[in-house]
């Protein structure tokens, strides 16, 4: 599988499996484990989870049940807003690792910017990195101002920023800024979000004329067109699926290549439309939604 080299020298598979809200948000059971196991059997080795998803146990069980060596996987998890701060971040990763049944995270992210806590949170993450518990460090939903704040004191620079990014929200300026600072950009909700968002299919980019026309031209699905656009733009994608066909299709992106004109046509669909939280204020809501305690 195609991988991207991070600025710290480690490699991340370009297509990962998103695990938020498999079944439902905070669902952590045999259904989640079996879905992740199906993805592993289809070939995914990069799994994206978070303490807030409340499903780290099922994700970890799928990895163990697969019988595939831990070192073959790239597992990302994240520290939630209510866990930010120095000591609480140390504890948060310890708890995530216990739930995942692993000794380390391949990539540990600050899930959302919470500027008052960024410094102690990142300093704890640097300690976790020095202890080998978090192999790479990164961000999620960080705006340019949040990154500038962090770079003023960070001894270890972030190598990754996971953003809401799909054809209706392409974030060109932030993407360019992240890349100029050595961060790989990863796209969350790359297909226009899962059922957690309540967004109807007809409002998602997978039904946009440009995407559907390209899918017909290349005899692939609309989802594959969007994921290929991201990959050709050197971004990571972490689509989530519970359907056998989509799980497999989202990994099969090698049969076609979009032209530069077609990549530009998809860029042009941007309307700065978010389906999920806005980092300008998300931390305020997030503080009212703690990580499930199990
Ligand atoms: N950092 C953050 O703040 C943040 C926020 C949100 C999400 N995330 C991460 O990003 C991941 C993905 O985001 P998401 O789950 O919101 O949405 P998504 O991956 O954009 O979309 C998931 C939806 O698309 C459908 N789908 C999957 N493959 C498809 C295909 N080839 N063609 C058509 N439809 C397809 C799925 O249905 P089926 O199940 O029926 O295939 C599901 O309804 C999450 O799981 C999570 O890991 C991170």
Gap between the Cα atoms of 56 and 41, Å rounded: 18
- How far does residue 154's CA lie from ligand 1's centre (Å)? 31
> For residue 129, is it within any domain?
yes
> For residue 197, is it within any domain?
yes
As given in the structure block, the two tokens for residue 210 are 């440009």
> For residue 150, is it within any domain?
yes
- How far does residue 273's CA lie from ligand 1's centre (Å)? 16
> For residue 202, is it within any domain?
yes
Tell me, what's the pLDDT at 294?
Answer: 73
Gap between the Cα atoms of 270 and 267, Å rounded: 6
Gap between the Cα atoms of 174 and 150, Å rounded: 15
> For residue 1, is it within any domain?
no
Give yes or no for residue 250 CB within 6 A of ligand 1: yes
Active site residue ranges: 53
Gap between the Cα atoms of 89 and 93, Å rounded: 6
Determine the residue of 13, 18, 251 to mutate for testing ligand 1's pocket, defined as the one with the most ligand atoms within 8 A of the Cβ atom: 18
Gap between the Cα atoms of 216 and 202, Å rounded: 18
CATH number at residue 31: 3.20.20.100
Gap between the Cα atoms of 214 and 225, Å rounded: 7
> For residue 293, is it within any domain?
no
**Residue-wise pLDDT tens for the chain (294 aa)?**
799 999 999 999 999 999 999 999 999 999 999 999 999 999 999 999 999 999 999 999 999 999 999 999 999 999 999 999 999 999 999 999 999 999 999 999 999 999 999 999 999 999 999 999 999 999 999 999 999 999 999 999 999 999 999 999 999 999 999 999 999 999 999 999 888 888 898 999 999 999 999 999 999 999 999 999 999 999 999 999 999 999 999 999 999 999 999 999 999 999 999 999 999 999 999 999 999 987
Per the annotation, does 166 bind a ligand?
no
> For residue 4, is it within any domain?
no
As given in the structure block, the two tokens for residue 135 are 């192999």
Domain count, the chain: 1
**How far is the first Cα of the chain from the last one, in angstroms, to the nearest whole number?**
34
Give yes or no for residue 18 CB within 6 A of ligand 1: yes
Residue 103's domain comprises 11-286
Q: Where are the beta strands (DSSP E) in 97-193?
A: 105-110, 134-140, 160-164, 184-188
Give yes or no for residue 192 CB within 6 A of ligand 1: yes
DSSP letter, residue 197? G
Helical ranges in 107-157 per DSSP H: 118-130, 144-151
> For residue 141, is it within any domain?
yes
């Amino acid at each position: 599988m195609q991988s991207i080299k991070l600025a710290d020298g480690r490699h991340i598979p370009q297509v990962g499996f998103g695990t938020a809200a498999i079944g439902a948000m905070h669902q952590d059971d045999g259904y989640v484990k079996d879905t992740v196991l199906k993805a592993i059997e289809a070939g995914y080795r990069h799994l994206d989870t978070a303490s807030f998803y409340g499903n780290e146990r099922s994700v970890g069980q799928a990895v163990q049940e697969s019988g595939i060596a831990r070192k073959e996987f790239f597992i990302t998890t994240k520290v939630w807003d209510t866990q930010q701060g120095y000591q609480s971040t140390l504890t948060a990763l310890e708890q995530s690792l216990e739930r995942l049944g692993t000794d380390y995270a391949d990539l540990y992210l600050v899930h959302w910017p919470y500027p008052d806590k960024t410094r102690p949170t990142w300093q704890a993450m640097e300690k976790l990195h020095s202890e080998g518990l978090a192999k790479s460090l990164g961000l999620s939903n960080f705006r340019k101002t949040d990154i500038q704040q962090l770079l003023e004191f960070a001894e270890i620079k972030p190598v990754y920023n996971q953003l809401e990014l799909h054809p209706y929200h392409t974030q060109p300026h932030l993407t360019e800024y992240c890349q100029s600072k050595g961060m790989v950009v990863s796209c969350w909700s790359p297909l226009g979000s899962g059922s957690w968002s309540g967004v109807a299919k007809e409002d998602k980019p997978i039904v946009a004329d440009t995407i559907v026309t390209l899918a017909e031209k290349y005899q692939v699905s609309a989802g594959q067109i969007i994921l290929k656009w991201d990959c050709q733009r050197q971004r990571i994608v972490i689509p989530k699926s519970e359907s056998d066909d989509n799980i497999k299709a989202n990994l099969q992106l090698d049969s076609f290549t979009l032209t530069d004109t077609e990549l530009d046509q998809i860029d042009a669909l941007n309307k700065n439309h978010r389906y999920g939280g806005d980092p300008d204020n998300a931390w305020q809501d997030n503080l009212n939604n703690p990580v499930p305690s199990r």
